[in-house]
Amino acid sequence: MSNDAIVLLRNDHKEILKTFKEFEKAGENATKRKGELVDRMIELLTVHTYIENEVMYPRVRELLPELEDDVLESYEEHHVADVLVVELAAMKPDAERFDAKTTVLIENVRHHIEEEEQEWFPKVREGLGRKTLQEIGEAMEEARKKAPKRPSQPSALKKTIDAVIS
């Protein structure tokens, strides 16, 4: 498997989008299944945003300062997702606003993924090249090993709090 940072992030995106589709196809009365899918979304998104925020974004900011605005926008998009994830993690699947909140999360994350893949990744690939992207990918894989899987874990909470006070 490639350690290229962009390939790793695209693979995460595929898994996240697959879970979104399953949620949308689950049907109106599939409360238990939707709860399981949201738990999976929460884990996937918590790990993914952690490795991006801890490794990818800081390295891109450092190496490609001309992409600073893109990185800052991505941090904010992650913050919106983090807030929704924290709220969903505290909700029961049969709560009145569970489906609506999940739908808003899905819409926000889809927008973020689309922007990243179509606009940001090509700029990053061109600016950094293969060797650097592989080094960043290796660092991301290391970070993934210690990444929080739930928003209630200290390293995930710190990320959310940092976004609120920054």
pLDDT digits (tens, 9 = 90+) for 128-150: 999 999 999 999 999 999 988 88
pLDDT of residue 164: 47
d(CA 103, CA 110): 10
Domain extents in the chain? 5-165
**Is there a contact between 50 and 159 (Cβ–Cβ < 8 Å)?**
yes
Query: Apex CA 71: angle with CA 54 and CA 23, to 5°?
Result: 75
Neighbour count for residue 159 (Cβ, 10 Å): 21
pLDDT digits (tens, 9 = 90+) for 91-109: 999 999 999 999 999 999 9
pLDDT digits (tens, 9 = 90+) for 55-71: 999 999 999 999 999 99
The amino acid that residue 133 corresponds to is L
pLDDT of residue 162: 53
d(CA 18, CA 13): 8
pLDDT of residue 28: 84
Exposed, middle or buried, 1 (CB in 10 Å: 0-12/13-18/19+)? exposed
d(CA 94, CA 123): 42
Neighbour count for residue 21 (Cβ, 10 Å): 11
pTM: 0.89
d(CA 78, CA 81): 5
Residues 6+ apart with CB under 8 A from 17: 110, 113
d(CA 165, CA 13): 27
